[in-house]
A and B are shown apart, each in its own frame.
Chain A
Amino acid sequence: MHSDRAPLGLKIAAAFGLAFMHLPILLIFVYAFTTEDKSYQWPPPGFTLKWFAVTWERTDVWEAMQLSLKVASISTIIALVLGTLCAAAVSRTRFFGREVISLLVILPIALPGIITGISLRSAFNLADIPFSFWTIVLGHATFCVVVVYNNAVARFRRVSGSLVEASMDLGANSFQTFRYVILPNISTALLAGGMLAFALSFDEVIVTTFTAGQQQTLPIWMLEELVRPRERPVTNVVAMVVVLVTFLPILGAYYLTRGTDTVAGQGK
């Protein structure tokens, strides 16, 4: 049937769109190996692995990387707890202020990042809170909640209420029901949400510029290099590493949420 085959024009337009989204990222990989160290010359005059070794020796890169990983881990844990609680409450009942809560969760990423950033900064200033590792975490956790919440709330809605009732009828208390019935059913959604929250935090720059003092996360380090370049090839290598580091959680989250039709009790 003719309508099952895409028109050529559409195919070309769709291919163009996909290429537009991917070619620039692939370019980063080429630049990580270039021998050119002063400019962004294309085509690269030659290829070398030298810059990987140079980057490996750079302590500032390692420190920024460590800070980013630490911030992302702790923010993810906080977001997992808060997001799951919120999703559990919103999905199980209709209560007063429910809409307000779901709006409140989305707001930190619906409003431009600079608003979140400058609000937090002026609040820290007003409250005389010195900028530290924890102020960064505070900001990151706030906008990571929504990612966990979105994943968890979708899954909570699919977990059948009859499962919970069956568990209770068999004598389990709420905590046992949560541990042995609900948690296994929502675990992959939480894992996916956690991975995305991690990727989001690992990559965040706008809010971080406002909530960090002297601390440098990897994105802040990169921003610094973009505004005032010191050693361009090192930036190229770091950029490639960042792409690879965020690549894995996204793929993982995709595989974890792909089979959502198989949640127990879904047919009820």
Chain B
Amino acid sequence: MSDTVDTRTGGFLTGLSDTLWRRPKLLVFLLILPPALWLGIIYLGSLFALLAQSFFSIDEFTGIIQYEFTLKTYGELLRPSNFDIIIRTVVMSAAVTVGAAVIGFPVAYYAARYARGKWKAIFYLGVMMPLWSSYLVKVYSWKLILAKEGILNWLFETLHLGWLLNAYLSIPVIGGNSLSVSTTGTFLVFLYVWLPFMILPIQASLERVPHSMLEASGDLGAHPAQTFRHVLFPLALPGVIAGSIFTFSLTLGDYIIPQIVGTSRRFIGQAVYAYQGTAGNIPLAAAFAVVPILLMAVYLWMAKRQGAFDAL
């Protein structure tokens, strides 16, 4: 009897609908098929193609890729010049992450704990707007700020602190000719561009900290600093780690910021770009690209153990 078609509501559709209703697994399968195919073929397929290439090598004389399994390309990563790039990128990513946590925490804390009504909306949009506004425009605005004739230099000169800036720029490694060609400049732009990615997860985890816990800590005689250290910060830590996943990962892979603001010393992203492009050394580019993937895999594994995924 189940096969009788109800003609009032259109036969075929109703029949199909009934079939799907009786077989929920078929429905889920049909729902998931298009996105799974798209992501599976286009994305995972490409990812594996890339991974596979990292096990090939390039003939140094002819420049032709040899399609034979080898770990030689990975060995090249350990060359001092290449290894320096990896270290430099990891140190920068760590510095950006710490910087973002330090600047982002107060914003997140204020938004989660004290902001109400209109101010809550202002804080929310205040973080969302920079998060979503154009990446290149943000980088460009810092090019304007850090330029030699730009606003920051002008500010230092106007305050008669030009000597201070010059003294800072004369420090090796972090300094340079001007801020826009220094490692400090690169750091500032990274910090600026990824900061919202840190604030949102911290805010989410702080929203879940009950007021009563902080009050209880105060009632038991803890100084605000002690409450922060022993109660608030440990409870917010999953949020900080969740945020650090973004800031760390995004810095690891970016190649545009260090290209536009910074010194000529390369980062991983730039190396990948250069090796796949002009150098035509796809295997080495692929091997370089595997570094952030591996680092992120380890990082994610540790973050998961800290419970950071619940705070995402």
Asked if A17 and B103 sit within 8 Å, CB to CB, the answer is yes
Asked if B196 and A21 sit within 8 Å, CB to CB, the answer is yes
- Distance of A35 Cα from B36 Cα, bound (Å): 53
Asked if A227 and B276 sit within 8 Å, CB to CB, the answer is no
Residues of B within 8 A of A110 (CB): 245, 249, 296
Shortest Cβ gap from B57 to chain A (Å): 15
Task: Give 17 CB contacts A-B under 8 Å.
Answer: A3-B214, A6-B110, A16-B106, A40-B147, A43-B151, A83-B35, A88-B31, A89-B32, A95-B28, A118-B285, A120-B42, A142-B42, A219-B136, A222-B137, A223-B256, A226-B139, A239-B141
- Assess A25 versus B285: contact at CB under 8 Å? Given A3-B218, A85-B35: no
Mark interface residues in B10-25 (1 if CB within 8 Å of A CB, else 0). Answer: 0001101110110011
Shortest Cβ gap from B114 to chain A (Å): 4
From B128, B149, B249, give the contact of A39 (CB < 8 A): B149
Asked if A121 and B276 sit within 8 Å, CB to CB, the answer is yes
Interface residues of B (CB under 8 A from A): 9, 13-14, 16-18, 20-21, 24-25, 27-28, 31-32, 34-36, 38-40, 42-47, 49-50, 53, 103-104, 106-107, 109-111, 113-114, 123-130, 132-145, 147, 149-151, 154, 192, 195-196, 199, 211, 214-215, 218, 224, 245, 249-250, 252-256, 259-260, 269, 272-273, 276, 282, 285-286, 289, 292-293, 296
Asked if B128 and A250 sit within 8 Å, CB to CB, the answer is yes
- Assess A173 versus B34: contact at CB under 8 Å? Given A40-B149, A114-B269, A122-B286: no
- Assess A254 versus B125: contact at CB under 8 Å? Given A14-B109, A119-B49, A243-B133: yes
Q: Is A27 an interface residue (CB 8 A)?
A: yes
Asked if A114 and B130 sit within 8 Å, CB to CB, the answer is no
Asked if B140 and A239 sit within 8 Å, CB to CB, the answer is yes
Q: Is A157 an interface residue (CB 8 A)?
A: no
Residues of B within 8 A of A5 (CB): 114
Interface residues of A (CB under 8 A from B): 3-7, 10-11, 13-14, 16-18, 20-22, 24-25, 27-28, 31, 39-43, 81-83, 85-86, 88-89, 92-93, 95, 101, 104-105, 107-108, 110-116, 118-123, 126, 138, 141-142, 145, 168, 171-176, 196, 199-200, 203, 205-206, 209, 219, 222-223, 226-227, 235, 239, 242-243, 246-247, 249-251, 254
Asked if B195 and A21 sit within 8 Å, CB to CB, the answer is yes
Residues of A within 8 A of B293 (CB): 111, 115
- Distance of A93 Cα from B25 Cα, bound (Å): 9
From B127, B143, B196, B276, give the contact of A118 (CB < 8 A): B276
Asked if A242 and B134 sit within 8 Å, CB to CB, the answer is yes
Asked if A20 and B249 sit within 8 Å, CB to CB, the answer is no
Shortest Cβ gap from B122 to chain A (Å): 9
- Distance of A222 Cα from B147 Cα, bound (Å): 18
A78 to B, closest residue via Cβ: B38
- Assess A25 versus B32: contact at CB under 8 Å? Given A42-B149, A176-B9, A246-B133: no
- Distance of A81 Cα from B32 Cα, bound (Å): 11
Query: Given known contacts A31-B144, A89-B31, A246-B134, what 17 new A-B pairs fall within 8 Å (CB)?
Result: A6-B113, A10-B109, A14-B109, A14-B111, A17-B103, A20-B195, A25-B133, A85-B32, A86-B35, A105-B39, A115-B289, A118-B272, A120-B42, A122-B50, A142-B38, A227-B259, A251-B125
Shortest Cβ gap from B51 to chain A (Å): 9
Residues of B within 8 A of A108 (CB): 39, 43
From A18, A104, A173, give the contact of B126 (CB < 8 A): A18
- Distance of A29 Cα from B154 Cα, bound (Å): 18
Listed residue (B136, B154, B218) with the most chain A CB atoms within 10 angstroms of its CB = B136
Asked if A173 and B114 sit within 8 Å, CB to CB, the answer is no
- Distance of A114 Cα from B296 Cα, bound (Å): 14
Residues of B within 8 A of A7 (CB): 224
Shortest Cβ gap from A168 to chain B (Å): 7
Asked if A89 and B28 sit within 8 Å, CB to CB, the answer is yes
Asked if A111 and B147 sit within 8 Å, CB to CB, the answer is no
Asked if A10 and B110 sit within 8 Å, CB to CB, the answer is yes
Shortest Cβ gap from B278 to chain A (Å): 13
A113 to B, closest residue via Cβ: B253
- Distance of A223 Cα from B138 Cα, bound (Å): 12
- Assess A206 versus B296: contact at CB under 8 Å? Given A86-B35, A93-B24, A123-B49: no
Asked if B224 and A119 sit within 8 Å, CB to CB, the answer is no
Q: List 10 tightest A-B contacts by C-beta distance, closest first.
A: A112-B253, A13-B106, A173-B17, A123-B46, A14-B110, A17-B107, A119-B46, A89-B31, A174-B17, A24-B141
Residues of B within 8 A of A199 (CB): 132
Residues of A within 8 A of B195 (CB): 17, 20-21
Asked if B253 and A21 sit within 8 Å, CB to CB, the answer is no
Listed residue (A20, A116, A168, A196) with the most chain B CB atoms within 10 angstroms of its CB = A20
Shortest Cβ gap from A1 to chain B (Å): 9
Asked if B126 and A22 sit within 8 Å, CB to CB, the answer is yes
From A81, A138, A209, A254, give the contact of B42 (CB < 8 A): A138
A205 to B, closest residue via Cβ: B136
- Assess A111 versus B49: contact at CB under 8 Å? Given A17-B103, A85-B32, A243-B133: no
Shortest Cβ gap from B143 to chain A (Å): 7
- Assess A173 versus B276: contact at CB under 8 Å? Given A6-B114, A21-B192, A24-B192: no
Residues of B within 8 A of A21 (CB): 126-127, 130, 192, 195-196
Residues of B within 8 A of A14 (CB): 106-107, 109-111
